[in-house]
Amino acid sequence: MTDASAAAPPPPAAPLPPLDELLGTARVVALPLVTRFRGIDVREAMLLEGPEGWTEFSPFAEYPDDEASAWLAAAIDFGWNPTPPILRDRIPVNATIPAVDPDSVAAVLARFPGCRTAKVKVAARDQTLAQDVARVRAVREALGPEGRIRVDANGGWNVDEAEHAIHALAPFDLEYVEQPCASVADLLEISIRTKYMGIPIAADESVRRADDPLAVAEADAADILVVKAQPLGGIRRVLELVDRTGLPVVVSSALDTSIGLAMGAHLAAALPSLDFDCGLGTASLLAADVSHAPIAPIDGAVEVRRVLPDPELLDRYAATPERTDWWLGRLGRAYAVLASGPRASGRHAK
């Protein structure tokens, strides 16, 4: 399949299924990571089986219930509604480099076979800019001059720090800088300050964790949007958001299992255009997954397909009874938010 200029509209969404129907198939897993990432060593996720197939509900543990409800809306959308028509059956993806020492970069890249783009984590609280520069330099040396490098600060810099860091990292020929600052106002300021350098600014948290995900585009504070299916309420909501902004997008993941990555791949496949490699190769950061046929990079791309979990893996990596009860309670609370209002939380209903 090839990209097309327009996609057919998705079919209408089904009504909210009963809570008992969700609880009846829920499985909670705890998957170890290869390298500590985002401050965790184990990724927990709840898997649900709907009439359209398996789906995932996996907001990070610290997220409040109203925010988690958007993730549940996405899970229901993917498991209970037909997916929009796809325009491509393979999605080019980037490698993801955690905040590792330069000596570990080659080993991480090796887990992403064929990927010629790398997203490098920077601005970790316990690291210095010098360490970030050394890591990015190691990635450039490993990829060679033709490889593409993007850096992700997760909003970890203030404007002055971001300006200094972008200057320090610019010699490595950056594709873009993702979320250098936390607020939309600061993103706009750093975009103005560094415009002469020609390095695009991408927004992630300012889209998926914002009261109004359109605000960053309306403020002209970013050149690229990073979108994730789960946090934004599902494939349909993201397609609507992208259509309204008119900005190029990168589809990324939230350290999902392969079932969640399948949701992201279907989103990327339904976009009218896809100009950048996507962040959907993160199964390579997991030391275990829920399927023996994971959504993992092959020749720099992932397939667009649904994933059937392996019962043996669901049992092997089942969360403890205490953590399973916690997730079941969270599911009920997030469901209550959905049942009392729009299909996703009001934070994403603009």
DSSP structural state of residue 333:
H
Closest alpha carbon to 174 in 198, 204, 205: 198
Q: Is 204 annotated as a binding residue?
A: yes
Which residues have CB under 8 Å from 342's CB, separation 6+? 349
For helices 184-193 and 159-169, what crossing angle results, to 10°? 40
Half-sphere exposure of 342 (CA within 13 A, CB side): 16
N- to C-terminal Cα separation, the chain? 33
Do 262 and 74 contact (CB within 8 A), yes or no? no
For the beta carbon of residue 308, count every other beta carbon within 10 angstroms. 16
**41 among the known binding-site residues?**
no
312 is in an annotated binding site: no
Token pair 């667009």 is found at 304
Task: Judge contact between 279 and 256, C-beta under 8 A.
Answer: no
Residue whose structure tokens are 């309306």: 218
Contact yes or no for 115/93 (Cβ under 8 A) = yes
Residue 220 parent element (H or E): none
| Residue 121 among the catalytic residues | yes
SS3 139: helix
As a whole number of angstroms, the distance between CA 350 and CA 338 comes to: 15
Is 119 noted as a catalytic residue in this protein? no
Q: 119, 195, 228, 350: which one is catalytic?
A: 228
DSSP labels for 6-30? --PPPPPPPPPPPHHHHHHH-EEEE
DSSP state of 266: H
The single residue of 119, 121, 195, 350 carrying the catalytic annotation is 121
* CA distance readout (Å), 90 to 185, 281, 296: 36, 12, 11
Assess contact for 166 and 177: CB atoms under 8 A: yes
Q: Specify binding-site residues.
A: 152, 178, 204
Catalytic residues: 121, 228
Q: Specify binding-site residues for Mg(2+).
A: 152, 178, 204
